[in-house]
């Protein structure tokens, strides 16, 4: 058992294999450790996020080290049966790989029980393993461009069911009509870590999968009064965001939420809302809206020009981080920011938009939440009876970065720093990394003059990733994960941006340069003398 640093409040526990990983997961579910807030299981690791105010790193390591991994507790073993039409295109290929008949492949798949080891890749996508069926099925040489929803597939030691149509390289053996992901259910993911699964053969005839409504849908409330905000232009992208979906990793989705959470909180406080209410996240200006009825708004975040045009044609320039009174017919517009990337617009009373999994945020990777805004949308505004006094003292938490500067981000080395050469570790902090146009809410794709090379060339089994993780794919050019990052990843993470610099990272514009500043040396967490 190894303990590796991830961030101030997150560690990675590496185990010998999947059996130990599941045993530790069971143990932590049966007897939870006070202070542990989220566990992300993977093939050979558990990524554990905890609250430092309740437990220290050393106490957590000591507690986990004492757990008995020789037996499984099966505390979370809810039983699920999945009916399968075994008519997959790759059944004959699997039979040939195993040296058995197609009927024998089906028999083995249905007679052995599977356990959901972890989730990831997509909401509702569960990696299932069998303790008694030791298959190791290679992926297809050429991935398919489209695997249908409901496809039952094999890869390596895992079996899974595709919750939605997507590309993929797994071998397809059949299809099920069961919905793996359905937002109309109280628990949208049918399968969660620890669940026990049996597959049942229901014939070889073609099956029609009845899918739920698409996860992306416009959930805007129809304004019941004349007081609403009508969208005239959305610019590059305008999304609803709040503080995100905390603790939903069991469903296969990350936290998401505002890229600059401090700016979102400030915008809400300026108009007298509670600081966690939904705001509009506006990328690089270009936004315009007209007020129908009087309202109080505020704009924070990126340093951008703001104009208010009255129905009579008068134009006023207003400031960020200040309350802005809009009267009926006033148009408000945001220009291109001089610094920063994202602006946050709050309205007193907040926006009346439906929540998905307890959040109003739109996750661009999982396509969950209120749909991105479009021209002519009419945004209803909530009641203002519970609003507090407006705040006139809000200021940015940092100077907004512009595209011509080098932004310094503090980083914590780990968990896979020792997979890289010493030269690569030094290059990470000594050279500048330019933010490329391929960057988005999922992550900043960076480009440096020298590539980062690895000592260990073997494939890394998928493991949990956190916001701020600096992942190094085969290209040797880093990807800095941001709010909508995948829950698990298959490339080594050399370091993670310190929590207190995540908002700054979310405001770095394209073509700006980043310099990483390690604030610690990499080492395994061994005992009470070790500090992150």
Measured CA angle at 485 (ends 482, 489), to 5 deg: 125
Judge whether 190 and 179 are in contact, CB under 8 Å: yes
Burial 518-530 (b: 16+ CB within 10 A, else e): beeebeebeeeee
Q: Look at residues 375, 366, 437, 409 and name the one whose alpha carbon lies nearest to residue 495.
A: 409
Number of H helices, E strands in the chain: 7, 35
Q: How far is CA 362 from CA 137, 182, 372, 377, 510, in A?
A: 36, 17, 7, 16, 22
pLDDT at residue 191, as a whole number: 93
Judge whether 267 and 320 are in contact, CB under 8 Å: no
Q: How many beta carbons lie within 10 A of that of residue 274, not counting itself?
A: 12
Q: Look at residues 191, 122, 125, 120 and name the one whose alpha carbon lies nearest to residue 366.
A: 122
Walk across the sheet containing 36-41 and list its strands: 2-7, 10-14, 45-50, 36-41
Q: How far is CA 6 from the centre of its chain?
A: 16
Judge whether 302 and 507 are in contact, CB under 8 Å: yes
Note down pLDDT in tens along the chain; length 532 residues: 999 999 999 999 999 988 899 889 889 988 999 999 999 988 899 999 999 999 999 999 999 999 999 866 555 578 999 999 999 999 999 999 999 999 999 999 999 999 888 888 778 899 999 989 988 898 887 778 889 999 999 988 899 999 988 878 899 999 999 999 998 888 889 998 888 999 999 986 665 555 544 444 455 655 556 799 999 999 999 999 999 998 888 788 889 999 999 999 999 999 999 999 999 999 999 999 999 999 999 999 999 999 999 999 999 999 999 999 999 999 999 999 999 999 999 999 999 999 999 999 999 988 899 999 999 999 999 987 677 889 888 999 999 999 999 999 999 999 999 999 999 999 999 999 999 999 999 999 999 999 999 999 887 888 999 999 999 998 999 999 999 998 888 889 999 999 999 999 999 999 999 999 999 999 999 864 444 4
Q: Look at residues 7, 3, 13 and name the one whose alpha carbon lies nearest to residue 411.
A: 7
**Can you list the alpha helix ranges (DSSP code H) found in 99-234?**
102-111
Q: If 0-12 CB within 10 Å is exposed, 13-18 middle and 19+ buried, where does residue 132 land?
A: exposed
pLDDT at residue 496, as a whole number: 98
373 preceded by a cis bond (ω within 30 of 0) = no
pLDDT at residue 354, as a whole number: 93
Judge whether 24 and 38 are in contact, CB under 8 Å: no
Q: How far is CA 273 from CA 225, 286, 406, in A?
A: 20, 25, 35
Judge whether 346 and 321 are in contact, CB under 8 Å: no
Cα dihedral sign, 247-10-194-116: positive
Q: How far is CA 254 from the centre of its chain?
A: 3
Residue carrying structure tokens 């009255």: 310
Q: Look at residues 396, 248, 434 and name the one whose alpha carbon lies nearest to residue 319.
A: 396
Burial 48-74 (b: 16+ CB within 10 A, else e): bbbeeeebebbebbebbeebebeebbe
Q: Give dist(CA 238, CA 244) in Å, integer.
A: 16
Give the N- to C-terminal CA distance of the chain in Å, as an integer.
18
Phi, psi dihedral angles at 108 (to 5 degrees):
-65, -40
Q: How many beta carbons lie within 10 A of that of residue 236, not counting itself?
A: 12
Q: If 0-12 CB within 10 Å is exposed, 13-18 middle and 19+ buried, where does residue 386 land?
A: exposed
Q: Give dist(CA 422, CA 428) in Å, integer.
A: 10
Q: Tokens standing for 312? A: 């009579």
Maximum distance among all alpha carbons in the chain?
81
pLDDT at residue 246, as a whole number: 85
pLDDT at residue 531, as a whole number: 41
pLDDT at residue 178, as a whole number: 95
pLDDT at residue 78, as a whole number: 87
pLDDT at residue 530, as a whole number: 45
- Give the E-state strand segments of 304-456 in sequence order: 306-309, 315-318, 324-326, 331-334, 339-347, 369-370, 378-380, 406-413, 433-435, 443-447
Strand partners, 495: 413, 470
pLDDT at residue 77, as a whole number: 72
* DSSP reduced 3-state for 28: helix
Q: Give dist(CA 131, CA 295) in Å, integer.
A: 61
Helix 91-98 × helix 102-111 angle, to 10°:
90
C-alpha torsion angle, residues 193, 25, 17, 9 (rounded to 10): 100
pTM, whole model, 2 decimals?
Answer: 0.87
């Amino acid at each position: 058992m190894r303990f590796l640093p991830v961030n101030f409040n997150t560690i990675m526990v590496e185990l010998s294999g999947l059996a130990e990983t599941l045993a530790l997961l069971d143990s932590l579910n049966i007897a939870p450790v006070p202070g542990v807030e989220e566990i992300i299981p993977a093939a050979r690791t558990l990524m554990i996020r905890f609250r430092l105010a309740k437990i220290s790193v050393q106490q957590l390591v000591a507690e986990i080290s004492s757990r008995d991994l020789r037996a499984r507790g099966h505390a979370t073993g809810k039983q699920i049966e999945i009916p399968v039409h075994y008519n997959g295109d790759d059944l004959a290929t699997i039979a040939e790989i195993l040296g058995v008949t197609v009927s024998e492949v089906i028999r083995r798949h249905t007679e052995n029980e599977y356990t959901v080891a972890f989730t990831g890749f997509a909401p509702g996508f569960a990696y299932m393993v069998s303790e008694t069926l030791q298959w190791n099925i290679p992926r297809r040489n050429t991935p398919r461009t489209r695997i249908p929803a409901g496809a039952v597939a094999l890869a390596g030691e895992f079996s899974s069911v595709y919750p939605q149509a997507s590309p993929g390289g797994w071998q397809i053996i059949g299809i099920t009509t069961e919905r793996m992901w359905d937002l109309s259910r109280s628990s949208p993911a049918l399968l969660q870590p620890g669940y026990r699964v049996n597959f049942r053969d229901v014939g070889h005839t073609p099956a029609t999968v009845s899918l739920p409504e698409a996860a992306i849908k416009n959930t805007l409330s129809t304004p019941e009064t004349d007081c609403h905000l009508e969208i005239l232009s959305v610019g590059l992208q305008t999304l609803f965001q709040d503080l995100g979906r905390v603790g939903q990793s069991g469903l296969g989705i990350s936290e998401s939420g505002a890229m600059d959470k401090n700016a979102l909180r400030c915008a809400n406080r300026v108009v007298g809302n509670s600081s966690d209410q939904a705001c509009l996240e506006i990328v690089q200006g270009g936004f315009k809206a007209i007020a129908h009825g009087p309202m109080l708004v505020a704009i924070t975040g990126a340093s951008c020009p703001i104009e208010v045009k009255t129905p009579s044609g008068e134009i006023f320039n207003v400031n960020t981080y200040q309350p802005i009174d809009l009267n009926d017919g006033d148009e408000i517009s945001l220009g291109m920011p001089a610094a920063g990337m994202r602006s946050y617009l709050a309205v007193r009373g907040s926006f009346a938009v439906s929540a998905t999994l307890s959040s109003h945020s739109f996750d661009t990777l999982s396509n969950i939440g209120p749909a991105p805004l479009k021209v002519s949308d009419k945004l209803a505004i909530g009641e203002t009876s519970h609003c507090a006094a407006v705040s006139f003292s809000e200021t940015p938490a940092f100077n907004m970065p512009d595209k011509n500067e080098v932004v310094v981000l503090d980083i914590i080395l780990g968990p896979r720093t020792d997979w890289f050469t010493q030269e690569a570790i030094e290059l990470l902090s000594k050279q500048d990394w330019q933010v490329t146009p391929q960057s988005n809410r999922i992550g900043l794709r960076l480009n440096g003059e020298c590539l980062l090379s690895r000592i260990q060339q073997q494939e890394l089994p998928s493991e949990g990733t956190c916001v701020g993780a600096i992942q190094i794919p085969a290209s040797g050019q880093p990807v800095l994960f941001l709010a909508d990052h995948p829950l698990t990843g298959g490339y080594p993470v050399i370091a993670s941006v310190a929590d207190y610099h995540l908002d700054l990272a979310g405001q770095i514009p394209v073509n700006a340069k980043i310099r990483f500043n390690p604030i610690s040396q990499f080492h395994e967490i061994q005992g009470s003398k070790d500090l992150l």
